[in-house]
Structure 1
Amino acid sequence: MTLLGDTLAELTLALLKIPSETGSEGPIAESVLRRMETTTFGPRVLRHGNAVLTLPVADHRPVVALLGHLDTVPARQDGPPRREGNVIVGCGASDMKGALAVMLALAETLDPDSMWAQPMFVFYDREEGPYVENGLGPLLERFPETFARIRLGICMEPTSNAVEIGCLGTLHAHLTFHGQRCHSARPWEGKNAIQEAGSLLVDLAQRQPVDVWFGDLLYREVLSATMAFATGTRNVIPDVFALNLNYRFAPGKSLETAYQDVLDFVAGRAEVEFSDPCPSGPACLDNPLLKRFLTLSNVIVQAKQAWTDVARLGVHGIDAINFGPGDGKFAHQRNEQAPVDALEDAYHLLHRFFVEEFIA
């Protein structure tokens, strides 16, 4: 194990030991603020609510933002945060306390005056909650001119140090089917609302993913039933049955078109009420700073088959990608973990990106 690996492991463990479930990010925000204040970026660091960010200086250099969320999902772990050999275990290790440790280590080692690009550090709250409560939104509203200077955003989502381009949009559709209530011993006296959904559920089971290509990147649009509800008790034919459908749609598709996709599928067979719409994130394949990073790093490039704040940044005209040391398959899992080697690799790739003057 290297000295850098030990440092990143200790930083990750320190962050894991601060509970930070969504809505309770105050203590970790304060800890990150105090640590950032000791770096060379300290004079330009500030706290806004439970978010911490650095403000870039006014010069000609492009601004590249590193963005990481402070919160985690509720903890479901077998024991306290710990190191097991080359792996850090704890709630948020993969999503994304390990990435936060990389960001802090970069802030502590980069020289702001000796880089071709300016790093902007953004630590924000409430990413794991509803779209409208996400803490990045208030920052974009409070500091519009600062964020407008960003030429590339790097959302430090768990990607196993691959670059994941864009992201899927998402929305929920609450479907309501109506019947007529009666005793289950005499079902002919009513109409079963659950069975009214039968043809739609058959169609849903037979529906195949819709493949959308951006160059060599494949996004798969999917429509899934995720929850079901019925009125009454076990001996009553229900008069109301409801389904929640979750639709994931590709970059380039508007929310309005996504709504229409769902309505076309339902085809009048149920009442439809939409909620929690989140736009898709653009695939910024032509961004020159992204091309520079890919040339330098030679990492895997793939589509983001999920939603991230790349979409929120895209709404504000900011190109962004997903790149982080965490492994998505461990995110939100019991005994969530992050390998120290991946933390080191992410640090080295980003450090080199900021200090490398020329790429042949």
Structure 2
Amino acid sequence: MEDRVVLLLNELIKIDSSTKSGANQAIEFCSNWLKQQGLQVKEFNNEGYQSLVCEIGEGDQTVVFNGHVDVVEGEDEQFHPHIINEKMYGRGSVDMKAGVAAMIETIVQLKDQQLSTKVMLQLVPDEETGGLYGSKYLAEEGYRGEFVICGEPTNLGVAVQSKGVLQLNFKIRGEPAHGSRPWDGVNAILKATNLYEDILKLPFAEETCPPLYDKPSINLAQLKGGKVYNKVPEVCDMAIDIRYLPNQSPDDIYQQIKEITDGEVNIHICNDPVKTKSDNPYVENLCKAIKRNTQLERVNIFGQHGSSDGQFFTKYGCAAIEFGPVGADWHGRNEMVYIDSLKEYIEIMKDFIQKNVQHEVNSR
């Protein structure tokens, strides 16, 4: 089993899935792999983006295994995986082709067993670029479950919540003047940066959400202004990426910012947070499975600062989490995953499904 999942991960890393065509190639590879293992696969094409769904088991409850095959850009050598000291290196090794490979292997090992819970494997091509054509589409088409596990890297911890995303575009205008006499004009770049500093002092920026979060994250992502040295810039374009707390309202945040903005401000993206409770029965059952199959005495339950495709399922009443193997440096030069954690992850997922999740959840 371990050799098979390592082989699958190795082959997946070789596929440069940082592009649309590459991600589609990875989906096709996974589809063929699943079919070769005797599983039925539903394939989807949404605006040229390919996804797949593979279902096993029976029952009234459905657990979704959600994984993305796309990766961020990498150097050529990062798509040539190698193993050093039981760690596999390569682009996407832990974010999240390790999770994908382990989820596939879990489905393969469970396919001939009588399960009282349905398991739905979803593989999508575009999480890194927003997830609109993969997970969002599948959720809208009714491919959902009571519990969604996104196999993002969590070092075998359970991320029960994630911040929402509010990305804003600004156009700030000043007054042009000769560069030798800046006091005769209004510098749009300085005006924009001063606005950013003021945003950091707004009430929403000081709010907390214990015990999982301190404050929202506010990132000055883009600043573009000025064309020549000898002129006070009259226009500045600014972009801010806000990761707001699960208990905050993006509409309220937008209004607070709009009230202090002398210029244009428009919403680029507004995505929901994930608000799964740590005492959710599925979460508790998963934590039990983690303890049974690892040496962990306590499972790390935490909140993610970033987002995942779980956000697209919560609006339908689904509980979503992130749970994945152990690794490091995702999106970095030395991205890697511990091979031993793949085996642990598979055993945890199998145990979680086999311990009659449906019965235990219904008995609460």
Using structure 2 for the length normalisation, give the TM-score. Answer: 0.86
Amino acid at match of 2:179: S
Question: Deviation per CA, 1:159-212, whole angstroms, max 9, x where unpaired?
Answer: 111000121111111222211212202224322222323543443566765321
What aligned pairs does 1:271-350 form with structure 2 within 5 A after superposition?
Answer: 271-298=264-291, 299-327=299-327, 329-350=328-349
Counting matched residue pairs gives 344
Is the 1:77–1:336 Cα contact (8 Å) retained in structure 2?
Answer: no
What aligned pairs does 1:52-131 form with structure 2 within 5 A after superposition?
Answer: 52-55=52-55, 59-76=58-75, 78-79=77-78, 80-131=80-131
Is the 1:88–1:337 Cα contact (8 Å) retained in structure 2?
Answer: yes
1:191 and 1:242 mapped to 2: Cα distance?
15
Does residue 46 in structure 1 map to residue 42 in structure 2? yes
What aligned pairs does 1:159-170 form with structure 2 within 5 A after superposition?
Answer: 159-170=154-165
1:237 and 1:218 mapped to 2: Cα distance?
41
Amino acid at match of 1:98: A
| Alignment partner, residue 12 of structure 2 | 15
| Alignment partner, residue 184 of structure 2 | 189
Is the 1:221–1:249 Cα contact (8 Å) retained in structure 2?
Answer: yes
| Alignment partner, residue 172 of structure 2 | 177
Amino acid at match of 1:18: I
The change in CA–CA distance for 1:116 and 1:55 in structure 2 (over 3 A counts) is closer
| Alignment partner, residue 134 of structure 2 | 135
2:192 and 2:355 mapped to 1: Cα distance?
59
Does residue 6 in structure 1 map to residue 3 in structure 2? yes
Amino acid at match of 2:34: M
Gaps of 5+ in 1: none
- Partner of residue 32 from structure 2, selected from 34, 47, 65: 34
Is the 1:210–1:222 Cα contact (8 Å) retained in structure 2?
Answer: no
Is the 2:71–2:128 Cα contact (8 Å) retained in structure 1?
Answer: yes
| Alignment partner, residue 295 of structure 2 | none
Q: Secondary structure at the match of 1:335?
A: coil
Question: Deviation per CA, 1:42-72, whole angstroms, max 9, x where unpaired?
Answer: 13x2111211112456x43421110001111
Q: Secondary structure at the match of 1:200?
A: helix
1:209 and 1:253 mapped to 2: Cα distance?
11
Moved more, 237-246 or 174-183: 174-183
Q: Secondary structure at the match of 1:36?
A: helix
2:263 and 2:241 mapped to 1: Cα distance?
15
2:271 and 2:105 mapped to 1: Cα distance?
32
Is the 1:89–1:336 Cα contact (8 Å) retained in structure 2?
Answer: yes
| Alignment partner, residue 211 of structure 1 | 208
| Alignment partner, residue 224 of structure 2 | 229
2:119 and 2:303 mapped to 1: Cα distance?
25
The change in CA–CA distance for 1:92 and 1:326 in structure 2 (over 3 A counts) is farther
Does residue 253 in structure 1 map to residue 248 in structure 2? yes
| Alignment partner, residue 154 of structure 1 | 149
Same amino acid, percent of matched pairs: 23
| Alignment partner, residue 294 of structure 2 | none
RMSD over aligned CA atoms reads 2.4
Gaps of 5+ in 2: 292-298
Amino acid at match of 1:108: V
1:218 and 1:293 mapped to 2: Cα distance?
22
Is the 1:204–1:224 Cα contact (8 Å) retained in structure 2?
Answer: no
Amino acid at match of 1:341: D
Using structure 1 for the length normalisation, give the TM-score. Answer: 0.87
The change in CA–CA distance for 1:263 and 1:342 in structure 2 (over 3 A counts) is farther
Question: Deviation per CA, 1:113-168, whole angstroms, max 9, x where unpaired?
Answer: 4233222111111111135x3411222233x1x42xx1211010111110001211
Q: Secondary structure at the match of 1:29?
A: helix
Q: Secondary structure at the match of 1:334?
A: coil
The change in CA–CA distance for 1:63 and 1:9 in structure 2 (over 3 A counts) is same
Q: Secondary structure at the match of 2:20?
A: coil
1:88 and 1:272 mapped to 2: Cα distance?
44
The change in CA–CA distance for 1:326 and 1:209 in structure 2 (over 3 A counts) is farther
The structural deviation recorded for 1:9 is: 2.1
1:219 and 1:123 mapped to 2: Cα distance?
33
1:206 and 1:259 mapped to 2: Cα distance?
14
Is the 2:51–2:123 Cα contact (8 Å) retained in structure 1?
Answer: yes
Q: Secondary structure at the match of 2:318?
A: coil
The structural deviation recorded for 1:76 is: 2.8
Amino acid at match of 2:24: G
Is the 2:139–2:312 Cα contact (8 Å) retained in structure 1?
Answer: no
The change in CA–CA distance for 1:272 and 1:295 in structure 2 (over 3 A counts) is same
Is the 1:82–1:88 Cα contact (8 Å) retained in structure 2?
Answer: yes
Amino acid at match of 2:14: K
